[in-house]
Structure 1
């Protein structure tokens, strides 16, 4: 470094990478400074430069003394010892400045003589006082991982059915017969500590009620109207808790029910595709759940706006990982136990580091923000304006099994009105036009009134020749949406009996998964058959007759 470069550095002032000292006489104080730089990102100490940026410099005698002091502090007073570099930059008139370069530590954390761990905070340093900060320092060097943390619960808190199914499906083995065998198995699977307690990974994946043990590790989701956060105004909100797989499924279901459905070139009978591919959210949710910092006691937050969707995870990117690196597929393992079980099929998984790339390939409008100060990592997906989407018609779906140009061509179902009044669906149990043709079912109207008994669900302009039942007003054909399958009909019946019924209660009574129930309810909403009144807690369902 030449004098001009030195002056350029001094002009930048002190910060977390540069520190000025007019002189150094205390080796222990210097050792604390060295440890702080090494525990952070490294930096330089300019000795012979005053706090105000002036350069009194050092005499040759001072240089000899300080170099000896630096050597002693780095090798004897810092644990583990540091390898530092010094450079003497001349100022003229026999005065010099010592530029002391401290590298970023590769054996963190570093302690001073008294066992104190120091970190840089701006241009100053501070002690590490919390267990969370200490654990994070160990985590950065792969000496410690958050998902290995012991909890205060034993194996009796395992969800035995969930764990039994996992053992059967993945390891092809039976659930242990005794508590001793179960504990030994959990320890062998790296889910329990030597002291008999479940670790954090064991709780998150297989505990019956993880939220009772670690209530902060949940997902909080809100669908806001418009493009701004509101204090009390929202369209949909839910907190997702339980084992990791359940949290994933329920959060994905929340997102999918709050997306638009687009035609995407599909037929008129198709239900449509989500405006953003479902696989994109699978990748991003898996990334959020297994790579978040579990040393930060905060939930994952999901915000859905009209123009964007945000997933906010506790913890910034670890070590030297940057947004540019993750875009190209680089990754660091923060929670190795969770990742190992996700790779066994616990969650959708296609390889370490490839999830972000796959999400970007399917939806390039994704931005990432790595906030070190706020200790947050945010993913923002931009939604297309609704006027640019080819939305699926939300009217009644139509199913046609066979064309019908003439009477007797086979059954078909049409749920949309015909062009002429009186042509509503009917059932004809006797032959039309010619006797002897056998019974047939026709759900579309005939060109002439039927000659036998029939049931008419829509009005006709002329009365039929046989008995009929008319459920709609005459002369005004109308399309009425109905549940599409037996499960949706069952959901309607259960809600009619108890309008405050929850997703979990519906899932239990129908013996279906919670995510499946949520998707069918979303469809019933789309069909205009069901409406939610009020918030998740305290609200109720209203059936639209």
Structure 2
């Protein structure tokens, strides 16, 4: 970590007034705090993080420093290697900050095959922690179980279900399945009779059904596993039941049967409870469902197929909850394997917890269709995101907390008339369509970072970084959280509440962010570098760079060197425009 990165991180902590998910600050004068072990475990079990020793959270993250940085670093190194299982290898550095020494440890996330990291001397259940918001929380026994299961390829879906046999299969589903695998995979299945083909496809284990076979092709799997189903509840308010009227829900459905039937009944319930809305599309408008069916189908399939099917979770169903402002789909068991919240939807990212179930469902069609339940592996999330982009809706929020995985669809149009009018009031020419989408997400209160921006607009990381940087330079958004974990919020004064009732003020705000006058005044009749102008104006480097480029392009300023990348290039006025004339441009 560089000194300026640390300074930016501490500035963000002071602004927020609290630790956050990837940064933990602790006061440490001469010895390591007892809670350091918990934080090391939590960072290693979640997505990694930075531990800063020598900052006092109680006094607003004042830099109190550490007295003997070398000794404390050695103690921390010993703790990571001797007190943690598996041993951790963080990058530990000493930084001089505000006249004192700070000890900074960058803890990497463990490989799934090594989780959970826990404190030696205690049981795995008692000594394993996870990072939640700004704190460390002890893992539950079920969460420890899920992490241990993720060390390899789970096989619960291949296990035989006692008491079942071929008579418990749904005959029409089986006939369709056999027809498809004999046609699509003739070399492996065309010469086999029905029983042999079902055994080879792992629908049968000897003479009993596998769990995967029962769930995909069984006539009524709930006879053996009553809670392996899906529940749908439509609530009347944003918080659930209506307390004044006593209405608990608007609709309540328990979808049972094999997975194809559960999926069909869930989509029927959703259609019955959704309304249609008008969306601005270019110069026209279109009527669409609140949520695109393609996105809902993929989300429900993912929840049913990738949920945890270990015995400890057999009492938990997939849950679909509809509220006035959102739709939530939740399944037991977090993400599996190499898939994480950060790479969901990226090309080539796929990991199947229930590989046999997924393989069977590739040849089981949706009810009333020739389209299989599962098509191409890894295509579910991209299909979901594409459907939402096409409908001009916000991307979903993904939340993986080990024990459960949740997909939340916000219920609002991304580019409705109100948002289009607001973006126009900013008077910022040259914004790309994806930048407008990003601003619209912030307008609706959504979280925006590089990953969500890429997912919302189907961009690669390089273009997303460039476009987000341009929004920062235009002073439309403000980054928080440091360079590697940057999140973005609307600049002060651009919040929707201000623009809804005072559109003229929004237009005036855009004029106030015209920095030509400030830069020309700071430059005067001298020659200055960009860094010098940053110091004189107090503006960010990106903002100064953008306006210098504008002024050079307009002929108001000239450079002493042809390359704007050189830190030594100096800027001077050309004399072609007076200060007042330039300020009016």
Could you state the TM-score of these two structures normalised by the residue count of structure 1? 0.52
Q: Flag the 1:91–1:168 CA change in 2: closer, same or farther, 3 A.
A: closer
2:402 counterpart of 1:377: no
Q: Which residue of 2 aligns with 1:312?
A: 329
Q: Which residue of 1 aligns with 2:266?
A: 251
Contact 1:321 1:332 in 2 (8 A): no
Q: Which residue of 2 aligns with 1:153?
A: 162
Contact 2:227 2:316 in 1 (8 A): yes
Shift of 1:133: 0.3
Quick one: distance in 1 between partners of 2:98 and 2:252? 69
2:374 counterpart of 1:349: yes
Provide the secondary structure at the position in 2 that maps to 1:215: coil
Quick one: distance in 2 between partners of 1:362 and 1:104? 35
Provide the secondary structure at the position in 2 that maps to 1:344: coil
Q: Which residue of 1 aligns with 2:107?
A: 102
Q: Flag the 1:205–1:293 CA change in 2: closer, same or farther, 3 A.
A: same
Contact 2:294 2:384 in 1 (8 A): no
Q: Which residue of 2 aligns with 1:533?
A: none
Alignment of 1:46-445 (within 5 A): 46-52=52-58, 53-59=61-67, 62-91=68-97, 95-106=100-111, 107-114=114-121, 115-116=123-124, 117-130=128-141, 132-138=142-148, 143-145=152-154, 148=157, 153-156=162-165, 159-162=168-171, 165=175, 166-167=177-178, 169-170=180-181, 171-172=189-190, 173-176=192-195, 189=201, 200-221=211-232, 232=247, 237-255=252-270, 282-292=297-307, 298-302=316-320, 310=327, 312-314=329-331, 318=335, 321-322=340-341, 325-326=344-345, 332-346=351-365, 347-351=372-376, 352-353=378-379, 354-357=382-385, 359-360=387-388, 363-365=391-393, 367-371=395-399, 375-379=405-409
Quick one: distance in 2 between partners of 1:81 and 1:201? 37
Shift of 1:43: 1.7
Quick one: distance in 1 between partners of 2:302 and 2:35? 42
Q: Flag the 1:232–1:336 CA change in 2: closer, same or farther, 3 A.
A: same
Q: Count matched residues.
A: 359
Q: Flag the 1:303–1:108 CA change in 2: closer, same or farther, 3 A.
A: closer
Shift of 1:66: 2.2
Quick one: distance in 2 between partners of 1:99 and 1:277? 46
Once the two structures are superposed, what CA deviation does each residue of 1:483-515 show, in whole Å capped at 9, x if it has no partner?
A: xxxxxxxxxxxxxxxxxxxxxxxxxxxxxxxxx
Q: Where in structure 1 are there 5+ consecutive unaligned residues?
A: 262-272, 384-545
Contact 1:164 1:174 in 2 (8 A): no
Shift of 1:120: 3.0
Greater C-alpha radius of gyration: 1
Contact 1:284 1:355 in 2 (8 A): no
Quick one: distance in 1 between partners of 2:13 and 2:252? 53
1:8 aligned to which of 6, 11, 15: 11
Could you state the TM-score of these two structures normalised by the residue count of structure 2? 0.49
Q: Where in structure 2 are there 5+ consecutive unaligned residues?
A: 182-188, 277-287, 366-371, 414-585
Provide the secondary structure at the position in 1 that maps to 2:55: coil
Provide the secondary structure at the position in 1 that maps to 2:84: coil
Q: Flag the 1:221–1:341 CA change in 2: closer, same or farther, 3 A.
A: same
More helix by share: 2
Provide the secondary structure at the position in 2 that maps to 1:153: coil
Alignment of 1:500-515 (within 5 A): none
